Chain A
């Protein structure tokens, strides 16, 4: 697959996901409205809400992702290697220099976001900046720049925000379910009805979130970004060593959530977050050892 078809694929997928989100929210609102007896007025609110959040995810996805991760802007003096390495690789890739952010966390990780190369952001944790040597950091940043160049970041930012919205709604319903159970044990039929609907909604939501993420974040794109990184730095060993260090890092990144996990260069949860079947569902990253092996064979 050429870079160009990769870009086209990402752009198409972004639109598909935005539309799917609108259809999904409206559908859920319709079912809820009818079954709760509010009629379709509820649905129009949902149309408005989902269309607005879709556009917001497209235009402000990068800012929302940064806010979700609590990142601060980097400066040249304090983060010299990060700043200059990003400058240099942007020159090599023929991209404008991305905006740079730092997350204050000792866990080692990094991600890129933004809807196109001129609105791109690269974000790294203080942990990764402290523990990687310059050539290793180059490999990581080049990997992130490849995501930017391929428009992976556009797709990923939209997915992050929309999945975040669905997860937030699901969370709200879940709370309702628990509260409802405590309060309305022997109350009227209304509560039972709500619980039933909520149960159905949750049953629909969870696999959809997982499928959306899987759809958007094929493991191949990580391999592709690794390969392009090696081409940019002309030094696959740098990224291979960085990945080795990353796999040795057992710390969980506090700032990552379900919605943003797929953005990072390696899985920020280290597989600790969930029961086994659930983490399998969210396994958006190919195994690091496999990635290192491929890099060393280039």
Chain B
């Protein structure tokens, strides 16, 4: 009799440890996701900060390209104003394409293309675009892991009641670089 009690207690203790570690795993993933998100935010802000200078330096050589300037400015303020994840992602993509047009202007103005300040800003901008893309990739990888974890048994049993809900990706724009299949075997 006593033995059975001990066995049951042991099983209960093991189960408790198991669920505790599952719970902690989810919590730490959630924390990583929050950090990943603030990383994206930092990079988006960094890009927004570069834009006024860039626009100024292009204006100095190509005053009459007004539509491009206003597109960039509009996209920038749309992104700064966006609150939701999806809104930010969409505004960010719009800003990227507007900036692409702004940079393309330089092709028609050799003096601008040779301007040291512009060249430097352009380098910084394309680096920041990379940073946005990479922080987004990291964030989406985390979300994928997290959602996968939540969907698997036995997490499915209790995730809702403990407040773990599936999270939204920072939505990929069309033609985003596809994940490469890696085989570690």
Are chains A and B native binding partners rather than an unrelated pairing?
yes
Residues of A in contact with B (beta carbons under 8 Å apart) = 1-3, 6, 80, 84-85, 87-89, 91-94, 224, 227-228, 230-231, 234-236, 298
With A80-B123, A94-B138 already in contact, the answer to whether A88 and B180 are too (CB < 8 A) is no
A88–B182 contact, CB under 8 A? Answer: no
Main SS at interface, chain A: helix
Stretch with Cβ within 8 A of A (4 or more), from B2-10, B69-77, B102-110, B128-136? B128-136
Residues of B in contact with A (beta carbons under 8 Å apart) = 32, 36, 39, 43, 123, 127, 130-131, 134-135, 137-138, 142, 177-185
Cα-based distance from A64 to B182 in the complex (angstroms): 34
Cα-based distance from A2 to B182 in the complex (angstroms): 11
* Neighbour of A92 across the interface among B32, B135, B185, CB < 8 A: B135
Cα-based distance from A209 to B164 in the complex (angstroms): 52
Nearest residue (CB) in B for A89 is: B134
11 A-B residue pairs with CB within 8 Å: A6-B184, A80-B123, A88-B130, A91-B138, A227-B184, A228-B182, A230-B182, A234-B137, A234-B178, A234-B179, A234-B180
Q: Taking A92-B138, A93-B138 as given, write out 12 further A-B residue pairs in contact, using a Cβ cutoff of 8 Å, ordered by the A residue number.
A: A1-B184, A2-B184, A3-B184, A91-B131, A94-B32, A94-B36, A94-B142, A227-B182, A227-B184, A228-B182, A234-B178, A298-B182
Report the minimal beta-carbon distance from A82 to chain B, rounded to whole angstroms: 12
Nearest residue (CB) in A for B126 is: A134
Cα-based distance from A103 to B137 in the complex (angstroms): 31
Residues of B within 8 A of A236 (CB): 180
Nearest residue (CB) in A for B35 is: A94
Cα-based distance from A231 to B137 in the complex (angstroms): 11
B39–A91 contact, CB under 8 A? Answer: yes
Q: How many A-B residue pairs have CB under 8 A?
A: 53
Residues of A within 8 A of B178 (CB): 234
B180–A92 contact, CB under 8 A? Answer: no
Residues of A within 8 A of B180 (CB): 227, 230-231, 234, 236, 298
Cα-based distance from A224 to B127 in the complex (angstroms): 27
Report the minimal beta-carbon distance from A4 to chain B, rounded to whole angstroms: 11
Report the minimal beta-carbon distance from A37 to chain B, rounded to whole angstroms: 55
Interface hub of A88, A93, A230, A236 (most chain B Cβ within 10 A): A88
With A236-B180, A298-B180 already in contact, the answer to whether A1 and B185 are too (CB < 8 A) is yes
B177–A92 contact, CB under 8 A? Answer: no
With A91-B138, A93-B138, A94-B32 already in contact, the answer to whether A84 and B130 are too (CB < 8 A) is yes
Cα-based distance from A187 to B11 in the complex (angstroms): 78
Report the minimal beta-carbon distance from A120 to chain B, rounded to whole angstroms: 17
A227–B183 contact, CB under 8 A? Answer: yes
